[in-house]
Amino acid sequence: MDKDRASTSLSARAYSVSVEGFSGPLDALLSLIERREIEITTISLAIVTDDFVSYVRAMDEVDSNELSRFVAVAARLLQIKALALFPRHRSDGEEEDSDSLAEDLIERLRAYQMFRRAAEALRDRESRGLRSYASLMPPVPGELPAPALQPGTTRDLVRAMQRVIARTRTTPIDDLPREAFTIGGQMDLLRRRLATTERFTLRALLRDSERSAWVATFLALLELMRLGIAHATQASQFDDIELSRAG
């Protein structure tokens, strides 16, 4: 086989090159270089590079890591081959530099081999689904049952009002606002809230109101319940009163 003629074999895992005296991936080339069983001058780097470009174009997905490593190794091979093809008088230090280039190439090939093996191990784990983890949590029910609500009485409403007042911080007399709140005005506010909000609690209603308006708001709520406009429910004793539109 002509030493300037090279061929590549395409596979999903690695790039392989075949030249005179060598056939296989870069892993095998590493062993040959370490044993010095192949001369760099017998390899046509131009043909190998062209074949590698064809190999990359034929791939569905380009592995950028493999591509960058190939370029780095090819550049070092080209540098070593240039020194071999154009010999000149070298000092002792330059001889050591040439040897260091070869050693550096070997180290790069070793690193390439290590990353290749690691990538294949990770690809094997992924193909076997070892990155998948089963859920350990119990299934979440699609819909929780609604709590059973009991109709609230006027006495329940009064008790809830007392609890809210007892938990509220006392405001100094001098700081009380002077605005007057009427039962009729609070009834209008409650009607608008019932029209826009399907359900809300008595605590939320009083929390959103001025404290000086609580009495008028409470009496307005009782009046709306009497008129059949508002409806109060309570899940259990001492729970918060929920208010909604009647009907």
Q: What is the pLDDT of residue 6?
A: 44
pLDDT at position 102 is: 56
Top-tier CATH class for 150-245: mainly alpha
Q: pLDDT value at position 78?
A: 67
User: What is the pLDDT at residue 97?
Assistant: 55
> Which pLDDT belongs to residue 22?
72
Please state, in angstroms and rounded to a whole number, the distance separating the CA atoms of residues 96 and 91.
Answer: 9
Q: What is this structure's pTM?
A: 0.32
Q: Is 228 left (phi over 0), alpha (psi -120 to 50) or beta?
A: left
Sequence ranges of the domains in the chain = 7-127, 150-245
What's residue 122's pLDDT? Answer: 74
pLDDT of residue 29: 64
Q: How far apart are the C-alpha atoms of 74 and 108, rounded to whole Å? A: 11
Report the pLDDT value the prediction gives residue 121, as an integer from 0 to 100. 74
If you search the block for the tokens 């929390």, which residue do you land on? Answer: 207
Q: State the 10-residue block means of pLDDT for the chain, 247 residues long.
A: 42 60 67 66 69 72 67 66 61 52 62 70 72 60 62 69 66 56 86 88 81 81 86 77 82
pLDDT at 143: 66
Tell me whether residue 47 is exposed, middle or buried, using C-beta atoms within 10 angstroms of its C-beta: 0 to 12, 13 to 18, 19 or more. Answer: middle
